Amino acid sequence: MPTAGWWEALWPDPAGVLAAVGLKPGMEVIDLCSGDGWFTLQIAKIARHVVAIDIDPALLDVARHRLTESGLTNCDFVAGDAYDLARLVPGPAEFVFMANAFHGVPIGRDLARAVRATVKPGGLFTIVNWHPRPREETMVLGEPRGPGTELRLSPEQTIMAVAASGLKLARMNRRAALSLRRAI
C-alpha cells in the first residue's frame, strides 16, 4: 500500500469512481485487495453491505478504523488471499471491485475464476488498473508513482487474463476501468 498523502492526491474522488463504474445503492459488494479502505469507505456509504478482503491484516485494521470513525457498520473485514475468495465470503456478491491491485496478482486467470464463482449471474467484476504508461510519466505530487512499467497491463491484456473464466467485458471507461459481467 502506498504511503499516505499521494494516494488521496491520485484518487481525490473515490465516490465518483465508484459511481462511474456502476456501483448502485443496495448492492452486496466485495472490495477485493481493499488495502487501507480508501474505496471501502465510499462503497459502504452506498452499498447495502461490503466485505473488504486483503492479505494484510494491518491494512484491514486501518480500514476498520476509517469506517468506524464514520459510523459505518455494514462492512466485514476479512484477512486472506484473494484466490481463496469462495472460501472467504459467505454468499454471492453483485459487485466485486478491485482497484490498483490486478497488476500484482500473478495468475489473473485463477483470480477471475474465483471471482466468477462468487459473483451472482448478471453481477459485475470491476478492475481499475494503472494506465499502461511508463512509470516515469505517471507523476503524482512531483514524483513518479505506481507499479513498475513492466507490471502495467493494457485493457486488452486484462481482458485476455480473465477470458478463460467466462466473464465477459461489459464496459470500459477512460479511467482504464473494466467491468466484466458474469452472464450465467
Ligand X SMILES: C[S@@+](CC[C@H](N)C(=O)[O-])C[C@H]1O[C@@H](n2cnc3c(N)ncnc32)[C@H](O)[C@@H]1O
- In the complex, the residues that contact ligand X under the rule CB under 6 A are 1, 33-35, 38-39, 54-56, 59, 81-82, 99-101, 104
**Judged by CB, which is closer to ligand X: 27, or 34?**
34
- Bridge partners of 125, per DSSP, are 96, 180
121, 184 contact by CB (below 8 A) = yes
**Judged by CB, which is closer to ligand X: 99, or 177?**
99
∠ CA 127-3-17, nearest 5°, is 30
Q: How far is the CB of 183 from ligand X (least distance, A)?
A: 26
Helical ranges in 3-50 per DSSP H:
6-10, 14-20, 38-46
**Judged by CB, which is closer to ligand X: 34, or 165?**
34
Q: Which residues of 69-105 are buried (b: 16+ CB within 10 A; e: fewer)?
A: eeeeeebebbeeebbebeebbeeebbbbbbbbbbbeb
Q: How far is the CB of 78 from ligand X (least distance, A)?
A: 10
**Closest chain position to ligand X (CB):** 35
Q: How far is the CB of 123 from ligand X (least distance, A)?
A: 19
46, 25 contact by CB (below 8 A) = yes
Q: Report d(CA 13, CA 11) in Å as an integer.
A: 6
Number of Cβ within a 10 Å radius of residue 173: 14
**Judged by CB, which is closer to ligand X: 35, or 123?**
35
Q: How far is the CB of 53 from ligand X (least distance, A)?
A: 6
Q: How far is the CB of 95 from ligand X (least distance, A)?
A: 14
**Judged by CB, which is closer to ligand X: 49, or 145?**
145
